[in-house]
Chains A and B, each alone.
Chain A
Amino acid sequence: GENVEQHPSTLSVQEGDSAVIKCTYSDSASNYFPWYKQELGKRPQLIIDIRSNVGEKKDQRIAVTLNKTAKHFSLHITETQPEDSAVYFCAASYGGSARQLTFGSGTQLTVLP
């Protein structure tokens, strides 16, 4: 089955700086890579996703890049704000039509004012 590794486990940045979270996956058949944000005690919420036919996707201050050859993908947050503080999870889907997600272990991002 798929295995997703995520780094770092914790990340602290100053407000206004950029944050980068990296994930690697094992199954070369994976073709869908979402990122979820989970605030304390709340549900995971999709913030951005990318498919394997695209190398980069951007949505305002958030961007995701995918390197299929190296089997890794990254989340980039620019101009960080205190409300970006949360746990971020990457995931990869495998299983063909079943679309089952395997999640990374999460990154606790803290944006310091």
Chain B
Amino acid sequence: EAGVAQSPRYKIIEKRQSVAFWCNPISGHATLYWYQQILGQGPKLLIQFQNNGVVDDSQLPKDRFSAERLKGVDSTLKIQPAKLEDSAVYLCASSPQQETQYFGPGTRLLVL
């Protein structure tokens, strides 16, 4: 079965610019997660979707980050405006019925 797909794989932007990441989960997986992984740290959950509804976005910096999963399949994560401290790898994961999470390859963001 195909894995979780993410694009772009790399992105370099200047601070205060906007950026968007895309995720296509494994077919049939109802739950989708976005994580931020800062270099040398474990992934930190930003937002969790169940189908097209938000389950938890308590750790999402809502003043600059937004995410949506309109049709319950693909998802986008946006940062506007970006700050230097947003430099990280953004990982998308999906799971069937909230069990094992399968990760995508991530988008490596560098904010200059």
Q: Enumerate chain A interface residues (CB-CB to B < 8 A).
A: 4, 6, 34, 36, 42-46, 49, 89, 91, 95, 97-106
- Closest-by-CB residue of B relative to A49 is B100
With A95-B56, A106-B41 in contact, is A44–B91 under 8 Å at CB?
A: yes
With A98-B56, A99-B31, A100-B48 in contact, is A46–B42 under 8 Å at CB?
A: no
Residues of B within 8 Å of A, CB-based: how many? Answer: 23
Q: Enumerate chain B interface residues (CB-CB to A < 8 A).
A: 4, 31, 33, 40-45, 48, 55-56, 91, 95, 98-106
- Closest-by-CB residue of B relative to A44 is B103
Whether B103 pairs with A101 at a CB distance below 8 angstroms is no
Distance, CA A36 to CA B105, complexed state (A):
14
Q: B101 to chain A: which residues have CB within 8 Å?
A: 34, 46, 101
Distance, CA A89 to CA B100, complexed state (A):
15
* Chain A interface main SS type: strand
Contacting residue for A34 out of B33, B44, B100, CB 8 A: B100
With A98-B55, A103-B43, A103-B44 in contact, is A43–B98 under 8 Å at CB?
A: no
- Closest-by-CB residue of A relative to B31 is A99
Whether B48 pairs with A44 at a CB distance below 8 angstroms is no
- Nearest Cβ distance between residue B27 and chain A, in whole angstroms? 18
30 A-B Cβ contacts within 8 A? Answer: A4-B42, A34-B100, A36-B103, A42-B105, A43-B91, A43-B103, A43-B104, A43-B106, A44-B43, A44-B91, A46-B101, A46-B102, A89-B43, A91-B42, A95-B56, A98-B56, A98-B98, A99-B95, A99-B98, A100-B45, A100-B48, A101-B43, A101-B45, A102-B45, A104-B42, A105-B41, A105-B42, A106-B40, A106-B41, A106-B42
